């Protein structure tokens, strides 16, 4: 096994998971995160069985189950009429089927679990307030320029990994690839205290509300003390989406059933997140530079696989590097393994978004179809995603 020195740009979920996978394979890892501290950004995320397998290999399964929630089902709702369309079983059913749970967890809680595991690993160092701004590939690997506290220094490694998100500097500036583009959709997010939620819909489920040109997803986080709410609308991109008033939000969903709109008036702060996607997913590695997660394949969240695919990337990359002494060959193998699956999942997410946002007769036909198909058959459509195993 070749012991490499690896530089990672980005200390989010993708970067920290990759650091743990690579260190477990015997490498020395330096993570550079431009934020000054570990920032608890974002809201909830869903970890399906395929991703949970990787985190269990890293020894984090107990922490995840303690910090996360295990929904009993995904409930599909008609957002306008407030009627149930379908129930897809999760809970014990998915545990038995895939030998791993389907959990929902606050992004910051998952990031903290990963960060603590990295801190305890002597082969991982994390530098905050430090950003990789440029890099040069050479016969000895790669030399990266690190900007920190107004100073620039050089770091040499065997390879560089861009885990720096949707607006990846490694992708856009260092590799010169096409940037992710705005999808025309914005996700409005909030954490609603469960004690303020007045609803007939059980809080221990993931609930998907389907409406014309919009949809929403809710699920419990932090020991079900909060309800994570994500409402997606079709929007022209604006510069002032960071915050939105309840009056503006209510206007967007005024035609929806009160069972959902009641959530908009609970005591919570709402913020908007424009959704970006990589329309051309053809490159995940060049020479001794690799991309993972959103930096490689920013995808719409409508298959709930964004974080999961970053976690899969981390494991596959570490395994390819462990099996092959030549770094460039290992990265080519990594790309060849990951691209077909990533492309198919991104296509599925895009298609789901179109189906979720149907209106008129098309929506009525969709709803009739959901009513007629059993929840287990609907789950089977996701089988090719969930059955992936390290």
Active site residues: 219
Q: In Å, how far are 34, 98, 135, 205, 288 from 160, measured between CA atoms?
A: 16, 34, 8, 40, 6
**Alpha helices of 184-270 — where are they, by DSSP H?**
246-252, 258-264
Helix or strand (DSSP H, E) at 365: helix 360-372
Contact 216, 227 (CB under 8 A): no
Contact predicate 202/273, CB 8 Å: no
CB 114 within 8 A of CB 16: yes
Please say whether the beta carbons of 331 and 277 come within 8 A. no
- Tell me the three state secondary structure of residue 96: helix
**Token pair listed for 120:** 């305890």
Residues across the chain: 390
Tell me, what DSSP letter sits at residue 301?
G
Distance CA 282, CA 28 (A): 28
Task: Please name the residues in contact with 188: beta carbons below 8 A apart, sequence gap of 6 or more.
Answer: 230, 231, 232, 233, 244, 249, 252, 270, 271, 272, 273
Rg (CA), the chain: 21
Secondary structure element (H or E) that encloses residue 103, with its range:
strand 103-106
> In terms of Cα–Cα distance, which of 68, 25, 27 is closest to 46?
68
HSE value, Cβ hemisphere, 13 Å, CA-based, for 372 = 6
Query: How far is the C-alpha of 252 from the C-alpha of 254, rounded, in Å?
Result: 6
Under DSSP, the state recorded for 388 is -
For helices 327-356 and 306-323, the axis angle rounded to 10 degrees is 160
Cα separation, 132 vs 126, whole angstroms: 13
């Amino acid at each position: 096994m070749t012991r490499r020195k690896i530089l990672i740009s980005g200390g989010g979920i993708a970067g920290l998971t990759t650091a743990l996978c690579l260190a477990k394979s015997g490498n020395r890892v330096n993570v550079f995160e431009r934020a000054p501290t570990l920032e608890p950004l974002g809201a909830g995320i869903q970890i399906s069985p395929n991703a949970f397998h990787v985190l269990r290999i890293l020894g984090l399964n107990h922490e995840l189950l303690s910090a996360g929630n295990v929904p009993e089902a995904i409930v599909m709702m008609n957002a306008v009429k407030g009627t149930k369309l379908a129930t897809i079983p999760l809970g014990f059913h998915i545990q038995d089927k895939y030998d791993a749970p389907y959990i929902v967890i606050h992004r910051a809680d998952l990031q903290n679990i990963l960060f603590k595991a990295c801190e305890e690993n002597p082969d991982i160092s994390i530098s905050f307030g430090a950003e990789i701004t440029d890099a040069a590939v050479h016969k000895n690997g790669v030399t990266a320029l690190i900007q920190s506290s107004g100073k620039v220094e050089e770091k040499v490694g065997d390879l560089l990994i861009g885990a720096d998100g949707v607006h990846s500097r490694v992708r856009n500036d260092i590799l010169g690839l096409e940037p992710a583009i705005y999808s025309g959709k914005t996700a409005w997010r909030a954490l609603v205290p469960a004690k303020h939620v007045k609803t007939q819909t059980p809080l221990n489920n993931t609930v998907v509300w389907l409406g014309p040109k919009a949809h929403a997803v809710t699920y419990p986080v932090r020991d079900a003390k909060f309800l994570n709410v994500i409402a997606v609308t079709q929007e022209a991109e604006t510069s002032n989406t960071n915050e939105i008033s309840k009056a503006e939000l209510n206007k967007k969903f005024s035609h929806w059933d009160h069972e959902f709109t009641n959530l908009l008036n609970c005591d919570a702060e709402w913020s908007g997140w424009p959704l970006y996607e990589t329309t051309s997913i053809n490159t995940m590695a060049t020479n001794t530079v690799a991309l993972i997660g959103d930096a490689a394949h920013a995808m719409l969240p409508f298959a709930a696989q964004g974080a999961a695919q970053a976690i899969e990337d981390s494991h596959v990359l570490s395994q390819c590097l462990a099996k092959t002494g030549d770094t460039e060959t290992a990265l080519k193998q990594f790309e060849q393994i990951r691209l077909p699956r990533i492309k198919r999942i991104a296509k599925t997410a895009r298609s789901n978004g179109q189906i979720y946002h149907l209106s008129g007769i098309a929506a009525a036909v969709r709803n009739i179809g959901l009513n007629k198909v059993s929840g287990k058959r609907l789950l089977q459509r996701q089988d090719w995603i969930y059955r992936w195993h390290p």
